[in-house]
Amino acid sequence: MAERRVTVGWAEGLHARPAAIFVRAVTASGIPVTVARPGGDPVNAASMLSVLGLGVEGGEEVVLASGAGDADTALDRLAKLVSEGLDELPGTL
């Protein structure tokens, strides 16, 4: 399983608009991805309600993970999106 530990770069955390951007990027990746607080239970990163339910604030760390064989590139791009608080995913998945 591939994992990336990322500090959330959006000041508002994974709430509302940033969560929507993140979920859209995960869905576009075409691979199953989970997101969790370190040591917490992972949730489906393609589910807006699940991501919002984590209540992650800006500056907190999250763990992105996927068991897909080609997950490394997608996780790298998602990690960049989250850590830099971007408005859209860099490049294409």
To 5 degrees, how large is the angle CA 48–CA 49–CA 55?
Answer: 100
Mean pLDDT of the region 62-69: 96
How high is the pLDDT of residue 66? 98
> What are 4's strand-pairing partners?
64
How high is the pLDDT of residue 35? 98
How high is the pLDDT of residue 86? 87
Smallest CA-to-CA distance from 67 within 41, 34, 89 is with 34
How high is the pLDDT of residue 89? 66
Q: What percentage of the chain exceeds 90 in pLDDT?
A: 89
Give CA–CA dist 56/60, Å, rounded.
7
Catalytic residue ranges = 15
pLDDT digits (tens, 9 = 90+) for 27-44: 999 999 999 999 999 999
Mean pLDDT of all residues in the chain? 93
Q: Indicate if the pLDDT at residue 88 is higher than 80.
A: no
**Domain 2-84 -> CATH class:** alpha beta
Are the beta carbons of 58 and 18 closer than 8 angstroms?
Answer: no
